[in-house]
Each structure stands twice: as structure tokens, then as C-alpha cells.
């Protein structure tokens, strides 16, 4: 019963993170930094979404990859339903696809590295998963190639200096994707703090590491 309650908690946390990120990714940061318009390079969603990898990694550590996949799939199903209510269908499709594939890749990488140094599995897993997530999400959500899923965002596909710094120009969503992944890498390092702090509390269940080997 306790394991079921903890698993349900992970599912609820995952749902909250993904739904919030689906909303926040539609809002570019306001203001400027060193003369660069933040709205041209970054959205608020970059700061909330990496928490999903923390939830996945804690589930994987405590219950193993099988339960972690169940949490991801359950969170995916519930989050997609909510996403269609709070975001555009195209954003919901992009988010769901990127979330599912990125998280499943994270689980696989984490599982391969779980016997190594405590930080390696969550860090490497989240970075590789984040890379796939970023590529899938921003391409499907904003690239005109995927307009079959919904109308293009006029602001996202306008040309602007890459990262707001270079002479070369590209559609804004390209800079969003680059900076989004940069923030995810930074957040991947930050998420090691709560992961490390919870290691002594959320210990692997008996037989988990042996079964996951």
C-alpha cells in the first residue's frame, strides 16, 4: 500500500510538472540581458520541465525501471489530456511526444549507469533525455515542417539573430531550442542537489538494483 501511495505521488508530480511546462513554454521571457532580447532566445518552460527528470530518476532509483516506465506512461496520459485543455493541440502533441521519448531514454540510460557514482546516472540520463526532448518538442511545436499538427506561431517562425547575438539569422524557435537545452543542462546539475539530499530517504526497494542489472 505504501509503495502504491508513493507511486501515485510520483504520477501526480509528473503530471503537474508537464502541464505547467506546457503553459509556460508559450511565454517568452520579458526584458533584455546585455542587450539581448530574452524573448528571442528563451521561454519560462525551460526552467520547470527539468524537474520531470528528477521525478523519473527518483522513481527509477526507488522502484526500478519497470515502475518508472509506468509512472512516465501514466503521467504522459494524464498530462496530455490536461495539455489539450490548457495549451494548443500542437503544443500538446509536441510536448507529449517529446516527454514520452525523452523520459524513456532517460530511464534506459539511468538504468545502465545506476551502479556507478551516485551522480552519474541522474546527470547523464537527464542530459541525454533532455537533448532528445528538446529536438522533438521544438521541431514539432514550431517548425513549419510540422504545420500539419496546427497553425504556425508567427512570432516563433520570424527570423531573428541566432541567440540574439550573431549576425546569422534563424527562426526564433531555433534559438529557443538552443537556449532551452542550455538551461536544461544547467538545471540537470541543479537537480543533483535534491536528488542527493533524498538518496538517504528514498532508498531502493529490496531487489531493485539486482532486478535492474
Residue 149 pLDDT class (50, 70, 90 cuts)? very high
pLDDT at 3 over 90: no
pLDDT at 99 over 90: no
Q: Which of 149, 147, 104 is nearest to 128 (CA)?
A: 104
Rounded distance between C-alpha atoms, residue 14 and residue 80, angstroms = 11
For 38-95, what is each residue's pLDDT tens digit?
A: 776 777 878 888 899 999 999 999 989 999 999 899 878 877 787 788 778 888 888 8
Find out whether 18 and 83 touch, Cβ atoms under 8 Å. yes
Find out whether 95 and 87 touch, Cβ atoms under 8 Å. yes
CA distances from 145 to 83, 111, 139, 198, 212 (A): 22, 35, 8, 42, 39
pLDDT at 122 over 60: yes
Which of 133-142, 167-176, 197-206 ranks highest by mean pLDDT?
A: 133-142
Provide the CA 81 distance to its chain's centre, in angstroms: 17
Amino acid at each position: 500500500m505504501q509503495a502504491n501511495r508513493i507511486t501515485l505521488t510520483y504520477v501526480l508530480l509528473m503530471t503537474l510538472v508537464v502541464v505547467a511546462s506546457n503553459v509556460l513554454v508559450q511565454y517568452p521571457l520579458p526584458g533584455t540581458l546585455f542587450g539581448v532580447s530574452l524573448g528571442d532566445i528563451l521561454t519560462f518552460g525551460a526552467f520547470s520541465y527539468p524537474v520531470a527528470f528528477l521525478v523519473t530518476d527518483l522513481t527509477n532509483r526507488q522502484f526500478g525501471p519497470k515502475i518508472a516506465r509506468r509512472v512516465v506512461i501514466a503521467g504522459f496520459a494524464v498530462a496530455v489530456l490536461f495539455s489539450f485543455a490548457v495549451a494548443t493541440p500542437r503544443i500538446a502533441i509536441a510536448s507529449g511526444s517529446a516527454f514520452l521519448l525523452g523520459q524513456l531514454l532517460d530511464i534506459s540510460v539511468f538504468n545502465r549507469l545506476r551502479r556507478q557514482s551516485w551522480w552519474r546516472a541522474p546527470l547523464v540520463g537527464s542530459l541525454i533525455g533532455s537533448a532528445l526532448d528538446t529536438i522533438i518538442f521544438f521541431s514539432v511545436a514550431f517548425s513549419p515542417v510540422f504545420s500539419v499538427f496546427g497553425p504556425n506561431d508567427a512570432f516563433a517562425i520570424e527570423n531573428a539573430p541566432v541567440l540574439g547575438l550573431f549576425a546569422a539569422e534563424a527562426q526564433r524557435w531555433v534559438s529557443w531550442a538552443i537556449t532551452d537545452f542550455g538551461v536544461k543542462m544547467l538545471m540537470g546539475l541543479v537537480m543533483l542537489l535534491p536528488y542527493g539530499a533524498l538518496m538517504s530517504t528514498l532508498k531502493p526497494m529490496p531487489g531493485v538494483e539486482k532486478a535492474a542489472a
